[in-house]
Chains A and B, each alone.
Chain A
Amino acid sequence: MPEITVRGLTKRYGKVIAVDDATLTIKDKEYVTILGPSGCGKTTLIRMMAGIIEPTEGKVFIDGKDMKGVPIEERDLGYVFQNIALFPNMNVGENVSYSPRVKGKSPEEQGTTSHKYLELVKLLDKMGMFPGELCGGEQQKVSLARALATGSKLLLLDEPLSALDARVRVDLRYDLRRLVKALGITTVHVTHDQEEAMSVSDRIVLMRAGAIVEMGTPEQLYTKPENIFTMNFIGETNLIEGWVRERSVGLCKIELRDGSELEVHSCPYDTGTAVVVSVRPEFVYPFTSGLRSKIVSTTYMGTYWRMTAESASEDEIDFDVPVSDGHLYKIGQEVYLMINNKATVVFPRPHEGIAEAVKLE
């Protein structure tokens, strides 16, 4: 039963540190996504797990067995490449039956395997076509079918949905999760799309600049992240600067830069500590009282209007209003904003500055 652990995994290319001391365990049948901005080392990490590249330091264990010196072909896993890499000299059927073929399975078994997995990805009718004749999305599905056809219980996916258009991508990601769950497969799925990560994973591993920032269930990372970077990267949020003025059980008063006051749900920091209050736009409402602000931009988003306001404390605050109310707001107009204090998260103010702390690389 595949369980994959990496310990202190590091990869350096000269001065570049692609992956920096990564330690994590993916449990049997778990669906884990590795999420992070472009260039943060996701591909490098998953490639080290697969044995495609050798780590500079650290170890990979599959089912507790040290994988050092074990070549890829003996790690018993399915891998979907970021650049798809379907064999151009073989047709779709031959691509999918490649794994059973090189494992010495009989021609009949090769046939049934490729049939089975092409059916799963609904591409049975494309069996005889060559990769060059398929569109990007179909190629990606074939590449998935090819990986599943290994029959392995461990699947490593490097951006498996990136070549698909938004709609198909959403459909396919649920299919993907359903499929691997039904087959009882342990999955590591690399993506830079936080929405995709939220909707398919049991657990998300968030990376930044080679290092793992935080791990947890989508809900944990969305509602109560430990790190301000996570808060900002997963979903959208407003970050408001201030100091703890008064602290009591279940309620905490924060002084903002213009001297005004903001009440938050709780905060573990002493009076006088410099903090950042995070609140997502969906928990900010225009009201008759609250933070005095001025609208600086309005954007139509389809199902709602996104308003950006600047408060008297010089914090930028986004909030959403229904489409029907869009006409009520004009740029330059004064509004008062209420914040749902149950939905706030307070972080100590990062010494390097907020902009630096939430920067992508």
Chain B
Amino acid sequence: MDRLAEAPKSTFLEKISTRHFRSGWKAFIIIFFLLFVILPTVWVLSYIFTDWSSIETVMGDPDLMSTIYDAILASFEIAAIVTVIDIIVGLPMAWILVRKEFRGKRYLDTLIDMPLAVPTAALGFSCAIFWAATSSNVNAPGFAPGFVDSAFLLIVLLHVVFSYPYMVRSLAAILEQIDVTYETAGRALGATKLTAARTITLPLFRAGLVTGIILCMARSLSETGGTMIALATMANSGNFETGPTLIGAWKSNPDLIPQLAFVSILLIVISLILLIILKIAVMKIKLPAGKVWPKYERILSRGWAPFLKDSTSSAFLFIFVLIPSFFIFTYVVVLPYQSAEWGLFWDSLFYSFIIAGVVTVLDIIMGVPMALYVARGHGSKIIQSLDVLVNVPLIVPTAALGFSLGMFWGDVPGIGSFDFILIVMAHVAFTYPLVVRNVAGAVEEIDPSYEETARTLGAKPLQAFRRVLYPMIKTSILAGAIMAFTRSLGETGATLAVVANANTAPVYIVDLINTEQFYTAGLACIVLIIVSYVFMVLLRYITKRRVA
């Protein structure tokens, strides 16, 4: 105390540790979130207030309502199926990544994120030519399975590709924080590996499961560009529509804005209700972990069973996620060489990387403090509603999101001419929640007494965070940052909605696909993937080394 009084000037650290500064900072973070993330995202909803009568007209049209009903039902069915598949196959994969040591683990680890770096449209196309029966002008390579003729099934397969990395990442980040000693203790008490994992680790997993489920469901519910391309590519998709594809189709027609707003509202409201129920259910319901079958679980814990489990989940990763994502590469092999305008592509790639980098940094600076408030502020109603609100940009269909962002930023005077800022702001809106969700999930698992200890040892809140909390949540920040980075790198629809002639790599690739230049598109995807891959491996390497 005395020493503080004597010190003539307070240090920077002391200044930013004062109460005033902290509440100011907190207010700033929350206002940023509301103003730059939530508001632009839901701007399309303003329609309810400005033009309610035309929405009533939509509701009065039975044919339209039945189309909307079918599409939305399909969306939720697909999201539910995809999430269940992701949990089943994602869990063993997360286990492999966290608890197993093997050579080349770092490379596998990075490979899992790669489908996120493929532009969504290219991913949709790639998946479609791999799985679906396609018409001849697509020129799909003859060795593709190409037998899927149900649109519903194709979209499920596609959305698994989109969402699988999210599930694995979220689960792995949480698993990393659960002390292995619990499982070892369980086994020392006579539990087999499977029993110990099932009765001890899994129940500690809830926060990770919630994060994973939210991310997966939201990704499936909101995916527009890839889904539309996949449906367009398959030979006969019938009249199959999902909520987002309806929006995607209506977006370009100014007369259909009421319909668009109506479907967006429905998707947002239903998803939010669903997520709240889900979150409560996962946190409150006691898992039926009571029963144990020692004999069968022993059989499943030893010998061929774990091997089968690991090889199945690896096979799943390759057959259902990686190969369909990268199948577009095969065009480079089967089609004759075509020359292309590479200078443009390199420019766009550079531009995309800069955008993704700036977006990720903004997400971390603004998102990590938000995650701390969300995870530590269970007492406050305001914080709890923020927690729900954070998910909104994830759920809004990307087409509606882009539309909404375009509407919002277009209305802000002056900013319309700054393409770069527009694209960055748009990308922050849908990547910010990825960082917040991941980090909040991790912080919830950490006993607050660690920070309290640091504080009693004299650490300022910022020091307590940096020295104590940060090392523990680092993997989750990295997971969030990678998701945000790749998501920004791959996004097409939302970018086009804010800046019609944006010069990013995904836009360039989608142009190639639309003009049927498959060879060049394949090559451009390969380059994009390789550059992202190298970048990601480097990032992991650097962050790993900083620990040692």
Give every chain B residue within 8 A of A87 (Cβ-Cβ): 182, 185-186, 200
In the complex, the answer to whether A83 meets B181 with C-beta atoms within 8 Å is yes
Q: Name the interface size band of chain A.
A: 20 to 34
Contact flag A85-B185 (CB < 8 Å), given A73-B191, A99-B190, A102-B195:
yes
In Å, the complex CA distance between A52 and B187 comes to 9
Give every chain B residue within 8 A of A146 (Cβ-Cβ): 189
Q: B192: shortest Cβ distance to chain A, in Å?
A: 6
A79 within 8 A of B: yes
Interface residues of B in 159-217 (CB under 8 A from A): 179, 181-182, 184-193, 195-196, 199-200, 203-204
Interface residues of A in 142-171 (CB under 8 A from B): 146-147, 149-150
Contact flag A102-B184 (CB < 8 Å), given A85-B179, A87-B200, A89-B203:
no
Interface residues of B in 110-146 (CB under 8 A from A): none
Contact flag A102-B185 (CB < 8 Å), given A89-B200, A89-B203:
no
A78 within 8 A of B: yes
In the complex, the answer to whether B204 meets A102 with C-beta atoms within 8 Å is no
In Å, the complex CA distance between A146 and B182 comes to 13
B295 within 8 A of A: yes
Give every chain A residue within 8 A of B189 (Cβ-Cβ): 73, 78-79, 98-99, 102, 146-147, 149-150
In the complex, the answer to whether A102 meets B199 with C-beta atoms within 8 Å is yes
In Å, the complex CA distance between A87 and B294 comes to 19
Interface string of B264-308 (1 = CB under 8 A from A): 000000000000000000000000000011110000001000000
* Residue in B188, B199, B204, B295 whose beta carbon sits within 8 Å of that of A79 in the complex: B188
In the complex, the answer to whether B294 meets A72 with C-beta atoms within 8 Å is no
In the complex, the answer to whether B182 meets A73 with C-beta atoms within 8 Å is no
Interface residues of A in 35-82 (CB under 8 A from B): 50, 52, 71-73, 76-79, 81
In Å, the complex CA distance between A72 and B192 comes to 9
Interface residues of A in 182-241 (CB under 8 A from B): none
Q: B447: shortest Cβ distance to chain A, in Å?
A: 8
A103 within 8 A of B: yes
Q: B442: shortest Cβ distance to chain A, in Å?
A: 16
Contact flag A103-B294 (CB < 8 Å), given A77-B188, A79-B185, A98-B186:
yes
In the complex, the answer to whether A85 meets B181 with C-beta atoms within 8 Å is yes
Q: B331: shortest Cβ distance to chain A, in Å?
A: 47
* Residue in A50, A73, A83 whose beta carbon sits within 8 Å of that of B190 in the complex: A73
Give every chain B residue within 8 A of A99 (Cβ-Cβ): 189-191
A14 within 8 A of B: no
In Å, the complex CA distance between A214 and B325 comes to 63
Pick the 6 closest A-B CB pairs, nearest first: A102-B191, A79-B188, A99-B189, A104-B294, A85-B185, A85-B181
Residues of A participating in the B interface, judged by any CB pair closer than 8 Å: 50, 52, 71-73, 76-79, 81, 83, 85, 87-89, 98-99, 101-104, 146-147, 149-150
Residues of B participating in the A interface, judged by any CB pair closer than 8 Å: 179, 181-182, 184-193, 195-196, 199-200, 203-204, 292-295, 302
12 contacts across the A-B interface (CB closer than 8 A): A71-B193, A73-B187, A73-B193, A78-B189, A85-B182, A85-B185, A87-B185, A98-B191, A103-B294, A104-B293, A146-B189, A149-B189
